[in-house]
Amino acid sequence: MTVVSTAAPVPLPAYYRILTGGIDAYGEGRDLAPLLADDLDFEGPIAGRVTGAARFLQGVKGFIANVGTIDLIQEVHGPDGSAVLYDAQLPRGGVRFAEFFTFADGKIQRLHLHYDPADYLAKGGA
């Protein structure tokens, strides 16, 4: 993975390290949980809208179990948010993702994820 730039807000380098760290290292999300607001607002094509860090921690396990690498394409950072575009290598090929973050109190408060769900499932995402 290409590491996000030094301009990235504090939670992002750790967030992407965890996403590519493998399912054995993920455990039950003990390293990811401190990066997320308790009332995290998540929205994605398969999960729909999910409220709460605990639900996100369970849902992201399938991605972590199947992703090999993340190749960063572009990132944009502002005072309260970031956008990151990347290709994730799954068991049967790459899938393009765009993530839009909002931060509050040094944590990820809101995360909107965009990708083609049919492509994701066809390439081995779960």
- Summarize pLDDT for 35-76 with one digit per residue, the tens: 999 999 999 999 999 999 999 999 999 999 999 999 999 999
Tell me whether strands 107-114 and 36-44 are parallel, antiparallel or unpaired.
Answer: parallel
Of 44, 18, 37, 124, the C-alpha closest to 80 is: 37
* Model pTM score: 0.93
Residue (of 31, 23, 58) closest to 42 by Cα position: 58
3-state secondary structure of 98: strand
pLDDT tens-digit series, residues 71-125? 999 999 988 999 999 999 999 999 999 999 999 999 999 999 999 999 999 999 9
